[in-house]
Amino acid sequence: QLKNILAFMECEDETDVAFLALVVAEFGPDAPEPNRNKAYISYIDSVQLYHTAACRMSKRGVLCTTECSSKEACSEERKDIVRRVLIGYLDSVRLRGFEGLYIWAMPPNDLHHDYVFHMRPIQQHCPSPQQLDLWYTKLLTVAQDEGVIAGFDSNAHAEGDPEDTVRTLPASLFGPDTSLRHVPQFP
C-alpha cells in the first residue's frame, strides 16, 4: 500500500501549505518475501516555508501567521517537526506489527532537483550525503532512546568504498528476532 503523509502550515489567508512530505510503501502479512511486514520510506522531502521570511513566496500572495524569533529558531522548529513526524511514523508501523523499515536516503543534488516539492527557497540548505546520514543517525538514536526502535544499521556505501563493495545487511529496526534476509539495494 502506497501512502503520502503530509504536514501543513496554515497561512494568513487560511490557505494550508504543505511543507513536509513522506512517500511510503507498506507491505502487510500477505505480501511475499522479502517484503512481508516491511515498510519503506521512499522519499522525505521538505521545504523551508515555516517562517514568515521564507513563506512570503514572492508574487504568490501567501503569508504565514506564524513568526519565530529568528530564521534560525524557525529552522530548528521545522527540523523538530520533521523529526517528530518521522519518529511518529516509526512508532506507528511498529505498533501495527511491521517487522522492519527501510529509508531511502539520498539528498537532492541541488535546490532544483525535485522529489515531491517543485522548487525550494534559494536560501534552503541541501545536505550532502554525509550530512544526511548523520541527520538520520541522530534521528534514529533519538527513536532508539525513546524505545520506539530496538536498533538500526545502514547498508550505505562508506565514503571511499568501491562501488562493487558488498553491503552488509542492516539489522531490523524492531528487534533481533525479526532480522531480515533481503535488503533492497537502492542506487
* 183: in domain: no
Confidence of residue 95 (pLDDT cuts 50, 70, 90): very high
Q: In angstroms, rounded to a whole number, what is the distance separating the alpha carbons of residues 117 and 20?
A: 9
Residue with grid cell 513536509, as numbered in its chain: 20
E-state strands within 64-174 = 100-103
43 in any annotated domain = yes
Residue 187 in any domain: the answer is no
Radius of gyration of the chain (CA): 18
Instruction: Enter the DSSP assignment of 2.
Output: E
Q: Of 7-11, 88-92, 116-120, which range is least confident?
A: 116-120
Evaluate whether residue 185 is within a structural domain: no
Residue 66 belongs to some domain of the structure: yes
Q: Is residue 42 part of a domain?
A: yes
Q: Tell me how far the alpha carbon of residue 128 is from its chain's centroid.
A: 15
Gap between the Cα atoms of 41 and 115, Å rounded? 13
Structural domains of the chain, count? 1
33-43 pLDDT, tens digit each: 888 999 998 88
Residue 102 domain flag: yes
Q: Does residue 33 belong to any structural domain of this protein?
A: yes
Task: Print the domain residue range for 165.
Answer: 2-178
